[in-house]
Amino acid sequence: MYRKVFASLLVIVLIFSMLPLTAFAASISVQPTTVRPGEEITASFSGTDHTNAWIGFYKTGADDRNLTSYAYVRNTNGTYTVTAPYDIGTYNFRLFNDGGYGQRIAVSSSVTVVQFNPVFTLPKTTFAAEENMTVQYSDAPSHSQAWIGLYKSGSDDRNFIKYEYLKGTSGSYNLDLPKDAGQYEFRIFQDNGYTRVGTSQAFSVSSSATAPATPEPPATSSDGDIIFDNNNIAGVANGPTNPTTFSISQPHVITKVETYHWNNRQGSPAGSIGLQHADGTMYGPWQATARIGYLDTPNAYWFVEPNVTIKAGTYTIIDSEPSTWSHNSQSNNEGFAQVWGYATDSAPATPAPTPAPTPPATGSTSSAESHDSGTRMEWPTVSGALGYRVFRSTNPNELGISVTDFYITALPFIDVNIEPNTDYYYTVKPVLKEANPLQGIEEELGDAIATYTVRSSSNVIASGTGGQQSFIVLQIDNPRMVVNGVSAEIDPGRGTTPQIISNRTMVPIRAIVEAMGGSVGWDGSESKITLNAKGNNVEMWLNSRNLRANGISKTMDVAPVSIGGRTFVPVRFSADNLDAKADWINSTREVVIIF
């Protein structure tokens, strides 16, 4: 009897001695267990024994492959610190004892990400019209683009009156209140969007104590009322795709018009602003004055103070530099603008006719450059143009053919479908009206605004099949790319830009490959990036200089890296192995990909 019991115990001991120690010893502890977005969470782990062991941070309930962030631990014991996400909810850490997902050996207790709860302090609850006041706030979001806005009580979050980015988790906002009587409140938002995290108590703005018997028009120095304002604080792009229009039901004196040119924090030298009535009547254009904008961006705001009376109707705001004019989906892709003025019973004066702008002088080879990627062109933009047609010919006496089926809306433009060592004659014309074959409307073009004569490079990248080639232009630190003459965000909503790392141009690869008609795959178990385009298959590994192109092993001199949750790869190696070509233009810090 005792022998049988002893034998059984011996077998149990032997079985348990064969199990990995980590099956019993692995553990994860978390501090703190309740955090706000942007705060740090530290996981302390122990019990790993594999060289490829790793720890991942997950939303509770997520599949093991659907991780939020991770790191290889490479030690038996250690810590892993992450920043709490802005997505409210519960999360946990998971420890894996291999390079994949097959040996999960520990799961932490939950950590809860809770919303901020800002505290507002108002000096009083009743204010006079246009009174200056200061609101104090604390326990506010730490996000660099969290903001506070002034609202009429009950209004939509997008209808702010004034706003300011927060100065930290505690601070103050000083402002002049509106002159309109009513109930108002302050609201705080967690980031550069409309996720509201706090609302102040309501307060009153009273009307002026006495009003003049006969309203007097404001002095020239006063802006008057806001007639139109489509500004918002979301991310912006250049080049509005819709006209910026507003309507007035009676004559107004226009005291001020302002447009916004963020232009990737570069601003734009002030040009001119005008107003065009729907019947074609033109007021202006007037030379604008520039002032700095957000983050001390030079020449971000252009403004004019015409103090002219205009008639009732619908107007289009004409900005002389639409290529740098800011817009976004919240402005209906109309250029950011504000218009001030006041109604009047006076009949508007007939504006003096403004001479039509003189077309730019004929260009020369300095306005168009020959590169191995093709002919790179930029030309002066024409206010009100829908886009541009570029005509190419090998005969100086002929207009030739349009180099694209569609009209061009973004610059620079690269003519990639050319032959080496050939003289080409280019003519650029603005598109004034779009064609509509169903209604019998033909495309209307303006007079030529630029002509170029360019001899193509002897090393020009010609199509190996004789078919049409396409191009992508990317610029260092620019979040937009140009694909065949059309502007697009590289990484919509995130502002991701190409970078230079170890003297190589690194790009967020997904947008580029998808623009080529291909696809990008990711295998988290191997940290492998797979590119498929033009019948080619390229495999790369994060932080490794090895690649495999169509089954053949090769080596790069710079490894792919992860930046801000996006995978960046060296563009030249990627393009070369997808049967595309990448050409670097030093003067403009641009990469041109031909495919």
Give the pLDDT band (50/70/90) at residue 371: confident
Convert the pLDDT of each residue in 376-432 to its tens digit.
888 877 777 788 888 988 888 888 888 876 678 877 888 877 888 888 888 888 888
Sign of the CA dihedral 108, 112, 113, 116? Answer: negative
135 falls in which pLDDT band (50, 70, 90)?
A: very high
CA distance linking residue 483 with residue 293, whole number of Å: 29
- pTM for the structure as a whole: 0.35
| Residue 104 token pair | 């999960």
What order of strands is seen across the sheet that includes strand 581-585?
A: 486-489, 480-483, 471-475, 590-594, 581-585
What's the CA gap between 326 and 238, in Å, rounded? 5
pLDDT level of residue 436 (50, 70, 90 thresholds): low
Two tokens, residue 13: 């001991």
What are the tens digits of pLDDT across the range 121-130?
999 989 999 8
pLDDT per residue over 493-552, tens digit each?
Answer: 777 888 877 667 788 888 788 888 888 888 888 888 888 888 888 898 888 888 888 888
Q: Residue 261 has what pLDDT?
A: 92
Rounded average pLDDT over 335-362: 61
Answer with the residue of higher pLDDT: 578 or 356. 578
Beta strands in 139-281 (DSSP E): 147-152, 162-165, 171-176, 182-189, 196-199, 203-206, 225-229, 237-238, 245-248, 252-260, 272-277
Q: Which H or E element spans position 134?
A: strand 132-138
Alpha-carbon span 534 to 576, nearest angstrom: 12
Q: CB within 8 A of 40, min separation 6: which ones?
A: 81, 82, 83, 84
* 144 DSSP assignment: T
The residue behind tokens 């348990």 is: 16
Percent of the chain with pLDDT over 90: 18
| Percent over 70 (pLDDT), the chain | 84
Whether the Cβ atoms of residue 321 and residue 229 lie closer than 8 Å to each other: no
Average pLDDT over residues 477-500: 80
Q: Which helix (H) or strand (E) holds 12?
A: helix 2-18
Asked if pLDDT for residue 22 goes beyond 70, the answer is no
Rounded distance, CA 473 to CA 416, Å?
12
What is the per-residue pLDDT for 366?
35
Band the pLDDT of 13: cuts 50, 70, 90.
very low
Model pLDDT for residues 437-454, shown as the tens digit of each residue? 556 677 788 888 888 888
Mean pLDDT of 460-467: 56
Confidence of residue 157 (pLDDT cuts 50, 70, 90): confident
Higher pLDDT, 14 or 525: 525
Under the banding of pLDDT at 50, 70 and 90, the label for residue 584 is: low
H or E segment to which residue 22 belongs: helix 22-25
Phi, psi of 342 (to 5 degrees): -150, 150
Q: Can you tell me the distance from the alpha carbon of 532 to that of 513, in angstroms, rounded to the nearest whole number?
A: 8
SS3 annotation, 321-374: CHHHCEECHHHCCECCEEEEEEECCCCCCCCCCCCCCCCCCCCCHHHEEEECCE
pLDDT at 15: 45
Report the pLDDT value the prediction gives residue 440, as an integer from 0 to 100: 63
| pLDDT score, position 14 | 46
pLDDT, average across residues 93-104:
84
Nearest Cα to Cα of residue 76 among 102, 100, 44: 44
What pLDDT is stored for residue 112 in this prediction? Answer: 93
- pLDDT of 11 > 60? The answer is no
Q: Do residues 517 and 595 lie in contact, with contact meaning Cβ atoms separated by under 8 Å? A: no
Asked whether 73 and 55 are in contact (CB, 8 A), the reply is yes
Q: How far apart, in whole angstroms, are the C-alpha atoms of residue 361 and residue 450?
A: 7
Q: Quick one: pLDDT at residue 437?
A: 52
Q: What is the pLDDT of residue 533?
A: 84
Residues with Cβ within 8 Å of 224's Cβ and at least 6 positions away in sequence, in order, are 218, 253, 255, 256, 340, 341, 342
Residue 219 confidence (pLDDT):
36
Amino acid identity for residue 561 in this structure = V
Contact assessment for residue 102 and residue 95, using Cβ atoms and an 8 Å cutoff: no
Helix, strand or coil for residue 11? helix
Residue 222 has pLDDT above 50, yes or no: no
pLDDT digit string, tens, across residues 74-93: 677 888 888 888 778 899 99
Label residue 208 by pLDDT band (50, 70, 90). low
The structural domains of the chain, ordered by start, are 21-113 (2.60.40.2840), 119-206 (2.60.40.2840), 225-343 (2.60.40), 365-455 (2.60.40.10), 471-594 (3.30.457.10)
* pLDDT on residue 257: 94
Mean pLDDT of the chain: 79
Judged against a pLDDT cut of 70, whether residue 18 lies above it is answered with no
Distances (CA, A) of 559 to 69, 188, 230, 294, 570: 20, 42, 44, 36, 7
Q: 313: number of CA atoms within 13 Å, CB side?
A: 16
Say yes or no to pLDDT of 116 above 80.
yes
- Give dist(CA 134, CA 143) in Å, integer: 22
Whether the predicted pLDDT of 98 surpasses 90? no
Tell which wins on pLDDT, 543 or 30: 30
167 contact partners, CB below 8 Å, separation of at least 6: none
Quick check: helix, strand or coil at residue 418?
Answer: coil
